[in-house]
Structure 1
Amino acid sequence: MPSGHHNGGRTRRRPVLHRLRALAAVAALGATSLLPVATASASAAPAEASTPAARVDNPYAGAGVYVNPEWAANAAAEPGGSAVAGQPTAVWLDRIAAINGTAGHLGLRGHLDNAVRQAAGKPFVVQLVVYDLPGRDCAALASNGELGPTEIGRYRTEFIDPIAAVLADPAYAGLRIVTTVEIDSLPNLVTNAGGTATATPQCDTMKANGNYVNGVGYALAKLGAVPNVYNYVDAGHHGWLGWDSNLGPAVDVLHQAATAAGSTTANVHGFIVNTANYSALKEPYYTIDDSVNGTSVRQSAWVDWNRYVDELSYAQAFRQKAVSAGFDPAVGMLIDTSRNGWGGAARPTGPGARTSVDSYVDGGRTDRRFQTGNWCNQSGAGLGERPRTAPEPGIDAYVWVKPPGESDGASQYIPNDEGKGFDRMCDPTYTGNARNNFHLSGALPGAPLAGAWFSAQFQELLKNAYPPVTGGGTGDTTPPSTPAGLRATATTAATVSLAWTASTDNVGVTGYDVYRNGTAVGSTTGAGGTTYTDGGLTASTAYRYTVVARDAAGNASTASAALTVTTAAGSGGGSSGCTATYRVGSDWGSGFNADVTVTNTGTAAATHWKVTWTWGGTQQVSNLWNGVLAQSGPSVTVTNAPYNGALAAGASTAFGFGAGYSGGNTAPTLSCTTS
């Protein structure tokens, strides 16, 4: 099913001077590659009723994910495309006709029946994009929809109600159905309506009549009533909403929609950022806290006073902002990494020259667009991180919501019956508008209508993939060797420390995923990441562990031989105590981000915890989240925040921090106490 792409990159430029604030983040989670699944063709026979799926915190955890056979066939038909054709992508419901299917494309039931067969009785996610609001995509033309600005009644009765009825069919009760709800709509009300410099008449209309807010609220309420549906609401991207003047109002509008038309915030399982967009996941060679000759990178033309330089930092900050605004503290984030790899020969290999702040940022940034407001069929873009579960704190998964190779919009006007117009931002000769600060559009030539297969774009994405697809598009499909020698190196009542022998691979191992009793619980990074400590366990309990290696081409090894480990007996008598496990998430040579997991290893509940350490080098914590920091020289003390001090026996929480250093960055030895 083709996906009618949204505008995704519109930006309201609001350079406002503000004090730098700490990067927000959340409690640490493990990471695992999403399990590859063989595709299956559609059948006219409906699926049989399946066992209802238990509600879970992260729907992707321990689950396979649906591979759309239509997209997989398109990808596999491209030279080198077979290397990625097995990746899961979302199914787009972008018009009423898509529910029952159109010529050559499955309907919703066809995809769900396929998903039941692919699941084969195991936990399984199917990803849907719900995208047909009245007056859709009010600030662009390429993916305008079929419903006029006032047709909220048709949206409810002809679009949302039929979708909800299909999803509620008992045949699909065993699936975990993840919905991406109405991309672009609510962010447009913040930046492109209400008298702003980038306002459009259509967006002004949609803000005035309330049909975006009420339409999203109705969709959340109706879909959220289905027990196995997990709603994730679109939250733009950092190059759109990362300014102080945009982020707070955006969260407020999302909260307004989540409590409109009979909905409550309980219907929002999470948020998704960078949907169908190109913003880099992580900028490795500069951070928002860097400066050049005393000038902050925020003053560079590229950053332009934004608070964020990449999607990961934006997503983590957005999550904290949403929780503060009244959303569930357990709310999760998804990041669309389908087209934000920015690899290939032009990818920088280090920071830019420090002759000026602009040369430093422009020379080191991996995102090579002319401007962050550019969103249509971008030249030089590449496939990003392959879909995987819980890769970073607060992130439920990296996902491919926009199927790579499906056009964002036509390079010139093409008559059609789908309501899709011609947007000059898809024309490579266009010199821009206020929403991209009058830069060239950066679009590829020769593009078809939004959602149609665009072979040249797919080849561009394959060539510039990061992590790379080996062989310049020929594809590497050889998995790493199976990890061997899995063993326990230490156990306590609440932790098991594991080690194993490194795997070999022709393109390089990028890390390992650890499974406990068949469910992914964490990961390590790099070929040498062959140790892992699993925490939050129950005393005197047997746990079964396996390990899977993954490589730079996105392949996963077979699981290691299983190892069963029994934790030590508890000390009894309501004892207290805790452990603190330290992990560096990223290190760029002059600074790093780290996470610390605190586990109550006693047999009594704790109300407070404290972690202390002394740096062995020049490290200094610059900002910290989910805890209270006190530091004096190399000595650091972190105590619990008001909301995460209470820990049941065996329970865990986490805090994180950013720090700078010069010279070495040896991990400290942590001490932990509870009371």
Structure 2
Amino acid sequence: MRRDVDDCPAPGQPDPNPFEGRRLTVSHGYAAQLEQTYDSFIAANDTINARKVRTAQTLGTFVWVPTISGLGALDATISAARAEQIQGGVDQVVGLVLYNVPDRDCSAGESAGELSGTDGLRRYKDEYVDAWADRLRRASDLTFAIVIEPDAIGNMVTNQALPFCAEAKPIQEEAMAYALKKLQFDNVNLYIDISHGGWLGWADNLPLTAQQAGTIVRMAGNDTKIRGFVTNVSNYNPFQAEVREDYTEWNPSWDEDNYARSLAPFLEQEGLPSRFIIDQSRVHLPGAREEWGEWCNVYPAGLGQQGLTDANPYVDSLVWVKPPGESDGQCGFPGAPRAGAWHNDYMIMLVENAHESIVPAASLDRPRQPWWPN
């Protein structure tokens, strides 16, 4: 089922890959949360998995900024990245998620946001996006990879029969276009969210997805540049599936590798870049679900791989966008808390089923970071 790189010619992309030669910044808040999981394994006398947790604490994750009041997370993340870049001597790529579009999550509600309607659009521009722009303008010493509004385009393409989503669409298009226009800095790489292969990867949806993305980019202005797109955010699809699940039979995008390959030509027809980052923070095990509609705290699952890959010429990097261990909502795995809350039992499972690249650390000692005293 896997394709060789030679099956698909490498797209011409003049700009350098922002992940090449850089390290995805470690979130110190997330690393601190993992201490609870570490303690659970130590209490169970499981030092192998405890050392896997130590490894996870050294891996970068994207930081989400889902509210206006949460903008301080940008300051903390930028400070941590500077400390690592200066004291650690490693160039950083700072992963951030811009996630506060008005009438967010119009089709589900588990992650509904704080803004709504035209007043929400005004606040989104003035209080949220402008604050991002101000901070990024003052951080020209760092490189950024920014995910733009998870699920928004998915709802625009497939959920317009829902009145709430239909009413939200023009407001969300304007909001996203404004964000793209305001964040046009040389050190900022913008990746628009385009859901995952099980949502938008069907043959009929591929051209519609590219057209919707093109509409938003053009609304931002002819000079607007984006680096590319992000797939599988907060979902569980593998990059390259070891087993093709029965429910993927009629879908050309049965895993995220094939989704990127399937969508790329349609993006290029729209004059858009065909570059991707792919969230692999949580990957379901074969047979874990019966349909793609099972999206909430899917189990069994494990931590996925990170980093550069030569398996797909369109992919900049495999990344952890959704911090593993944060709940999707009060659904799926038994006892799951509200969306965004820490779910230690789930994280224990993710570590136990981690991808082979997540090897146990050499020591049980807490990893040394400039921002984390030992």
TM value normalised by structure 2: 0.86
Partner of 1:380: 300
Query: Which residue of 2 is the match for residue 315 of structure 1?
Result: 260
CA 1:320 to 1:114, structure 2 compared with 1: closer, same or farther past 3 Å?
Answer: same
Name the counterpart of 2:128: 159
Query: 1 CA distance for matches of 2:158 and 2:210?
Result: 13
Where 1:382 maps in the other structure, the secondary structure is strand
Distance in 2 between residues matched to 1:239 and 1:467, nearest whole Å: 25
- Alpha-carbon distance in structure 1 between the residues aligned to 2:94 and 2:357: 26
Q: Give CA deviations for 1:516-562 in whole Å, capped at 9, x if unaligned.
A: xxxxxxxxxxxxxxxxxxxxxxxxxxxxxxxxxxxxxxxxxxxxxxx
Offset of residue 206 of structure 1: 1.3
CA 1:71 to 1:379, structure 2 compared with 1: closer, same or farther past 3 Å? same
Q: What's 1:279 paired with? A: 237
Residues 118 and 26 of structure 1, relative CA distance in 2, 3 Å threshold = farther
Residues 228 and 310 (structure 1 numbering): CA distance in 2 closer, same or farther, change over 3 Å? same
Give 3-state SS (helix, strand or coil) of 1:75's partner. helix
Task: Tell me whether 1:27 sits opposite 2:16 in the alignment.
Answer: no
Residue 134 of structure 2 aligns with an amino acid whose one-letter code is A
The equivalent of 1:127 in structure 2 is 95
Verify the 8 A CA contact 2:278 2:319 in the aligned structure 1.
yes
- Does 1:181 pair with 2:132? no
Answering whether residue 355 of structure 2 is matched by residue 466 of structure 1, we say yes
After TM superposition, give the deviation of residue 373 of structure 1 in Å. 1.7
**What is the distance in 2 between the residues matched to 1:378 and 1:285?**
17
Aligned to 1:448: 337
**CA–CA separation in structure 2 for the residues paired with 1:75 and 1:144:** 26
- TM-aligned CA deviation for residue 379 of structure 1: 1.6
Q: CA deviation at 1:465?
A: 1.6
Call closer, same or farther: CA 1:201–1:227 in 2, change over 3 Å: same
| SS of residue in 1 equivalent to 2:300 | coil
Amino acid paired to 1:96: I
> Structure 2: 5+ residue runs without aligned partners?
1-5, 42-49, 364-374
The residue type paired with residue 188 of structure 2 is V
Q: What is the deviation of 1:304?
A: 4.7
Q: Is residue 108 from structure 1 mapped to residue 90 from structure 2 by the alignment?
A: no
One of 76, 82, 97 as aligned partner of 2:54:
82
Distance 2:263 2:156 in 1: 17
Using the TM superposition, give the Cα deviation of residue 28 of structure 1 relative to its aligned residue in structure 2, in angstroms: 8.1
- Provide the C-alpha distance between the structure 2 equivalents of 1:152 and 1:277, rounded to a whole number of angstroms: 27
Aligned twin of 2:3: none
Higher relative contact order (CA 8 A, sep 6+): 2
Name the residue aligned to 1:145.
113
Larger Rg: 1
Cα offset, 1:217, TM superposition:
0.6
Amino acid at match of 1:327: L
Please say if residues 150 and 193 of structure 2, whose CA atoms lie closer than 8 Å, have aligned partners that are also in contact: yes
Say whether the 8 Å CA contact 1:177–1:230 is kept in structure 2: yes
Deviation by residue 1:158-206 (Cα, 9 ceiling, x = unmatched): 100011101101xx2121111000010011111111x3xxxx2211211
Report the alpha carbon displacement of residue 320 of structure 1 after superposing the two structures with TM. 2.5
Q: Structure 1 131/388 Cα, relative in aligned 2: closer, same or farther at 3 Å?
A: same
Q: State the distance in 1 between where 2:115 and 2:228 align.
A: 27
SS state at 2:134 partner: helix
Deviations 1:597-650 (A, max 9, x none): xxxxxxxxxxxxxxxxxxxxxxxxxxxxxxxxxxxxxxxxxxxxxxxxxxxxxx
Report the equivalent of 2:276.
333
Match of 1:634 in 2: none
Asked if 2 retains the 8 angstrom alpha-carbon contact of 1:178 and 1:232, the reply is yes
What amino acid is aligned across from residue 97 of structure 1 in structure 2? S
Offset, 1:368? 2.2
Post-superposition offset of 1:216: 0.8
Q: Deviations over 1:224-279 (max 9, x none)?
A: 2x22110000011110011122111111011101111x334742111000011101
The answer for the alignment partner of 2:176 in structure 1 is 216
Is the CA contact (8 Å cut-off) linking 1:382 and 1:464 kept in structure 2?
yes
Distance 2:262 2:7 in 1: 4
Note if contact 1:333-1:395 (Cα within 8 Å) is conserved in structure 2: yes
| Structure 2 residue 322 is matched with structure 1 residue 397 | no
Q: CA deviation at 1:408?
A: 0.8
User: Would you say the 8 A contact 1:24–1:313 is kept in 2?
Assistant: no
**Offset of residue 387 of structure 1:** 3.3
Specify whether residues 91 and 156 from structure 1 end up closer, same or farther in structure 2 by C-alpha distance, changes over 3 A only. Answer: same
Q: Is structure 2 residue 219 aligned with structure 1 residue 257?
A: no
- Structure 2 counterpart SS, 1:244: coil
List alignment gaps of at least 5 residues for structure 1: 1-22, 30-54, 101-106, 287-299, 343-365, 412-425, 427-442, 471-475, 480-675
2:166 maps to 204
* 3-state SS, counterpart of residue 231 of structure 1: strand
Q: CA deviation at 1:99?
A: 0.5
Q: What's the TM-score, normalizing by structure 1?
A: 0.48
Identity across the alignment (%) = 33
- Which amino acid counterpart does residue 271 of structure 1 have in structure 2? F
How far has the Cα of 1:64 moved from its partner?
1.8
Distance, in Å, in 1 between the alignment partners of 2:236 and 2:258 is: 15
Contact (CA 8 Å) 2:306, 2:317: kept in 1 or not?
no
Alignment partners' CA distance in 2, 1:385 and 1:314? 18
Seen in structure 2, the aligned counterparts of structure 1 residues 306 and 180 have a Cα distance that, compared at 3 Å, is same
User: 1:560-596 CA distances to partner (integer Å, 9 max, x unpaired)?
Assistant: xxxxxxxxxxxxxxxxxxxxxxxxxxxxxxxxxxxxx
Deviation at 1:399, TM superposition (A): 0.3
Closer/same/farther in 2, CA of residues 317 and 137 from structure 1, 3 Å limit: same
After superposition, the CA RMSD in angstroms is: 2.2
Equivalenced residue count is 341
**Secondary structure in 2 matching 1:183:** coil
> SS where residue 259 of structure 1 aligns?
helix
**CA 1:133–1:167: 2 relative to 1, 3 Å:** same
Alpha-carbon displacement from aligned partner over 1:82-103 (angstroms, at most 9, x marks no partner)? 2311110001010101112xxx
The one-letter amino acid of 1:281's match is: F
Asked if 2 retains the 8 angstrom alpha-carbon contact of 1:58 and 1:332, the reply is no
CA contact (8 A) 2:305 2:355 kept: yes
Shift of 1:370: 2.0
Does residue 1:99 correspond to 2:44, yes or no? Answer: no
Cα-to-partner distance string for 1:336-383 (whole Å, 9 max, x where unaligned): 0000152xxxxxxxxxxxxxxxxxxxxxxx252121121111120111
- Structure 1 or 2: more helix by fraction: 2
> Using the alignment, how far apart are the partners of 1:370 and 1:404 within structure 2?
22
Relative to structure 1, the CA distance from residue 26 to residue 219 in structure 2 (aligned partners, 3 Å threshold; closer, same or farther) is farther
- Note if contact 1:90-1:127 (Cα within 8 Å) is conserved in structure 2: yes
Query: Contact 1:255/1:265 (CA < 8 Å) preserved in 2?
Result: no
